[in-house]
Structure 1
Amino acid sequence: MSSSASTSARFVRVLAISSVVALIGSVSAPVLANASPGADPTTPNATARKAGVESGNATMGWRGGVQRSVDKHVATGGDSRVSSFSTVTKAGDLVPMTGVVGIDVASYQGVVDWVSFTKVNRSFVFVKATEGSSYRNPYFTSQFGGAKAAGMFAGAYHFANPGGKSGKKQAEYFVKHGGKWTKDGKTLPGVLDIEYNPYGKNICYGLSKKKMVSWITSFVKRYKKLTKRDVVIYTTADWWSKCTGNSKKFSKTNPLWVARWTPTTGPGKLPGGWPYYTFWQYSATVIDQNRFSNNLDRLKVLATQTK
């Protein structure tokens, strides 16, 4: 092939990829430069593997299965040759719910078409930032920033590994890599996602109830010290009962995000003496879906008010 023909071919390929970027419009491209996955958690257990969990990269509510809701055709314009550059998660047939509703995402969702979610009245999102003390979501920057650019409230979450480093150390890692709160009117307080162990047989990470409460306390206190906000605690009633003895220690300070995928019957009995939930993850179908307990004005207050 001649030099001029080779140059022409390269130009055509660049033009094709540029056209794809134009097609997805407001969708933010992934930022991968700061990703540094580590070997903090080990190989997923059989249940986690079946659910689609990848090593070191668990999602909240992973027992419901890792959701990869993507639309390759819209992303690529039907050109499979460039699909790897432009797979996009779009709002599909979401489970109906009244009130103020939103979603949560991790690296599995990749590039997200946030406008498609705002068009179906999704008002907020929580984005996985970190896990343990070494994993960082490589899409965090684009997902978090893209959601805000589309007008959504956005918060970050940390998937806890209580069998690893201390709660204090993991809170510091979280704040350093996405969990820092800013008073910009759109940033929700961070979330401690503490639930079933996807990397071993012991669902409580080998800790006694007393030690688990101590680990959570360490995380909660350090996060508050660093951000001036009380971290939201995401969990299930079953896990909280089995692994903390249904501790009531955090019910007056930390907002509860309870997971129970029963959209037609409600969140059920709440764990740990919490009188009400702040967020409820009511479905993991298509994508994780959540409901805020109050109106949009109160969600704005949660994003701005410190004690």
Structure 2
Amino acid sequence: MLVHRSGSARGRRFAVTGILLAAFSLVFTLPADAASAADVPARGSAHMGMGVAAHDGEHGTPVPGRAAQTEGVDVSSHQGNVAWSTLWNSGVKWAYAKATEGTYYTNPYFAQQYNGSYNVGMIRGAYHFATPDTTSGATQANYFVDHGGGWSRDGKTLPGALDIEWNPYGATCYGKSQSGMVSWIRDFLNTYKARTGRDAVIYTATSWWTQCTGNYGGFAASNPLWIARYASTVGTLPAGWGYYTMWQYTSSGPTVGDHNKFNGALDRVVALANG
């Protein structure tokens, strides 16, 4: 019996030691886990170009070209109420405002941004930040159209834009295969066109598009390209597109951060608005 009690005590000491080690391990691992969680932004806070600088880097300012280009901006809730008159007076003639994300978020500043840009004379449109891991492309296209992403033939409204880029909340390609991503995008685009009669603009970055769609070229014939690259030139475009329609060239512009070049004079912006 004495031997038995001694073995039990020894066993209890080992058990207590194991519990203490586990507790110390938990204490030292929790801060790292908490920091990792803190790095993930809140749902709804995504915006155009959120991952461009981090993944593609920044490589200088645009080199002025011979062809006419028209300055534009894109805005989201990060900009709040925008000083549209200041932008207009600085030469900005077109704008896109974030309307929706997934099927769970609408921009609380959308009315001020979408209507305010129109009221100073800009040609404007709305964009949708895609989250292909939450709902189908068709479901998100319908949500977008129902919450500001529609189109009207008034000469001042650009077709809606699909913002498809790095996932700020998790896996880069939203857990989809390349063919699965292409199918999701097609589902969105087809639904948007059925609802509005217009082919949506595709906003993306070449490196993301190559990784997550396999550099698919099948949308180029119908959907205008809005390329994101913070550099002196646009660089290589995604497959199929021989030219870009719009180029987001910086996230650190004056008045609001995201500035863009439309690949043509103002009459070409009007032409896109008129379809």
Which TM-score bucket, shorter chain as reference? 0.7 to 0.9
Q: Residues 115 and 207 from structure 1, CA distance in 2 versus in 1: closer, same or farther, beyond 3 angstroms?
A: same
CA contact (8 A) 2:97 2:113 kept: yes
Counterpart pick for 1:280 among 233, 242, 247: 247
Query: 1:48–1:62: 8 Å Cα contact kept in structure 2?
Result: no
TM-score (norm 2): 0.79
Q: How does 1:96-115 map to 2 (within 5 A)?
A: 99-115=69-85
Confirm or deny that 1:252 pairs with 2:195: no
What is the CA–CA distance in structure 2 between the aligned matches of 1:198 and 1:119, rounded to whole Å?
A: 34
Aligned to 2:166: 196
Q: Is the 8 A contact 2:151 2:160 kept in 1?
A: yes
Output the amino acid matched with 2:179.
Answer: K
Instruction: In structure 1, give the amino acid aligned to 2:51.
Output: R
Given the alignment, which residue of 45, 61, 65 partners 1:57?
A: 45
Q: Which has the higher helix share?
A: 2
Q: Which residue matches 1:268?
A: 235
**Which residue type is aligned with residue 196 of structure 2?**
T
Distance (Å, rounded) in 2 between the aligned partners of 1:48 and 1:224: 38
How far the C-alpha of 1:134 sits from its partner, in A, is: 1.1
**Structure 2: 5+ residue runs without aligned partners?**
1-34, 55-60
Query: Take 2:36 and 2:155, find their aligned partners in 1: how far apart are those partners?
Result: 42
Equivalent residue number for residue 58 of structure 2: none
- Describe the superposition over 1:30-57 as per-residue Cα deviations: whole angstroms up to 9, x where unpaired: xxxxxxxxxxxxxxx969948xx44322
Matched with 1:118 is 88
How far residue 210 of structure 1 moved from its aligned partner, in angstroms, is 0.5
Distance 2:128 2:172 in 1: 18
Q: Which amino acid aligns with 2:217?
A: K
Q: Distance in 2 between matches of 1:252 and 1:179?
A: 22
Query: Is the 8 Å Cα contact of residues 194 and 234 (structure 1) preserved in structure 2?
Result: yes
Distance 1:268 1:224, change over 3 A: same
- Superposition deviation, residue 122 in structure 1: 0.3
Displacement after TM superposition at 1:65 (Å):
6.9
Alignment counterpart, residue 122 of structure 2, candidates 146, 152, 158:
152
Q: Are 2:62 and 2:233, in contact at CA under 8 Å, matched by a contact in 1?
A: no
Task: Give the gaps of 5 or more residues in structure 1.
Answer: 1-44, 67-93
Which of structures 1 and 2 has the bigger CA Rg? 2
- The answer as to whether partners of 1:195 and 1:236 remain within 8 angstroms in 2 is yes
Q: How do 1:1-307 and structure 2 match up within 5 A?
A: 49=39, 53-64=41-52, 99-200=69-170, 202-262=171-231, 265-286=232-253, 287-305=257-275
Q: Check conservation: 2:52, 2:228, Cα contact below 8 A.
A: no
How many residue pairs match? The answer is 229
Deviations 1:201-225 (A, max 9, x none): x200000001000000000000000
Superposed CA deviations along residues 140-173 of structure 1, whole A, max 9, x for unmatched, are: 0111000000000110000000001100000000
CA displacement at 1:242 relative to structure 2? 0.3
Deviation at 1:97, TM superposition (A): 6.1
RCO higher in 1 or 2 (8 Å CA, sep ≥ 6)?
Answer: 2
Q: How far off its partner does 1:272 sit?
A: 2.2
What letter matches 1:224 in structure 2?
K
Task: Rate the CA distance shift 1:289–1:96 in 2: closer, same or farther, 3 A.
Answer: farther
Please tell me whether the aligned partners of residues 48 and 199 of structure 1 are also in contact (alpha carbons under 8 angstroms). Answer: no
- Contact in 2 for aligned 1:240/1:272 (Cα 8 Å): no
Alpha-carbon displacement from aligned partner over 1:252-286 (angstroms, at most 9, x marks no partner) = 01000000001xx2100100220100000001114
Amino acid at match of 1:231: A
